[in-house]
């Protein structure tokens, strides 16, 4: 049993000091995953990788919610899900009327029309991913690990306990399915 798995078991048993021992062991990897994810966000992103890691970690070790992880891969899968939720919540807040809605500040010297709005694409991805999760949980988990945690196909396959070839096939299918869903081809009304 690895040190991380042992500490995760201690957290599951309610040991209050176990959470303090876990962070130093997983911090660098979580920080790298968060930095990878933030790098894929739109320019002008105000959330830093460190803040994303800290917020995700706090959600993961929240003593008020009973959470259990049976392996290191399961923990990192939960971390990817927490990061996903944080980023989606931020995108929704930015899009709200109170936060300015669709209005974007522009420097007039560098004005160039924007073709796509990444926050809206993130929300569309979240909706499509939720739909995929209801139909195929394993492929949805693979997408979360790849997209939100920045894992390679090999790392995600190991975390999910599947072969690399199965992960490759699932990844190809999920990417195509999500693209069709986001573009509206998955909507029955769009096919008519």
pLDDT in tens, 30-76: 888 888 777 777 666 677 888 888 888 888 777 566 566 677 788 88
The whole-angstrom separation of Cα 107 and Cα 119 is 19
Beta-carbon contacts of 151 under 8 Å, excluding residues fewer than 6 positions away, are 33, 76, 80, 145, 159
Give pLDDT, residue 168: 92
Tell the burial category of 75 from Cβ atoms under 10 Å away from its Cβ (0-12, 13-18, 19+). Answer: buried
Q: Is the pTM value of this prediction over 0.85?
A: no
Highest mean pLDDT among 95-99, 100-104, 130-134: 130-134
Q: What is the mean pLDDT of residues 82-106?
A: 71
Domain positions in the chain are 3-191
Start-to-end CA span in the chain (Å)? 55
Beta-carbon contacts of 117 under 8 Å, excluding residues fewer than 6 positions away, are 42
Give pLDDT, residue 137: 94
> DSSP code of 49?
H
What percentage of the chain exceeds 90 in pLDDT?
A: 16
Among 91, 83, 95, which Cα is nearest to 36's? 83
Beta-carbon contacts of 102 under 8 Å, excluding residues fewer than 6 positions away, are 95
pLDDT in tens, 125-174: 888 999 999 999 999 999 988 888 888 899 999 989 999 999 999 999 99
Q: Which of 90 and 131 is assigned the larger pLDDT?
A: 131
- Where does the pLDDT of residue 106 fall: very low under 50, low under 70, confident under 90, or very high at 90 and above? low
Beta-carbon neighbour count of residue 158 at 10 Å?
18
pLDDT in tens, 50-61: 888 888 888 877
């Amino acid at each position: 049993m690895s040190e991380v798995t042992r500490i995760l078991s201690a957290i599951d048993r309610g040991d209050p000091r176990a959470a303090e021992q876990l962070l130093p062991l997983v911090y660098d990897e979580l920080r790298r995953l968060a930095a990878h994810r933030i790098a894929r966000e739109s320019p002008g992103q105000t959330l830093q990788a460190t803040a994303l890691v800290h917020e995700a970690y706090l959600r993961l070790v929240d003593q008020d919610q009973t959470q259990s992880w049976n392996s290191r891969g399961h923990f990192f899968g939960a971390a990817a899900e927490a990061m996903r939720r944080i980023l989606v919540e931020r995108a929704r807040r930015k899009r709200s009327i109170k936060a300015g809605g669709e209005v974007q500040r522009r420097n007039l010297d560098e004005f160039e029309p924007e073709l796509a709005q990444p926050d809206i694409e993130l929300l569309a991805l979240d909706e499509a991913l939720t739909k995929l999760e209801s139909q195929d949980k394993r492929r949805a988990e693979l997408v979360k690990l790849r997209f939100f945690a920045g894992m390679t196909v090999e790392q995600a396959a190991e975390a999910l306990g599947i072969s690399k070839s199965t992960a490759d096939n699932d990844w190809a299918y999920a990417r195509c399915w999500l693209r069709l869903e986001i573009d509206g081809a998955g909507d029955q009304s769009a096919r008519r």
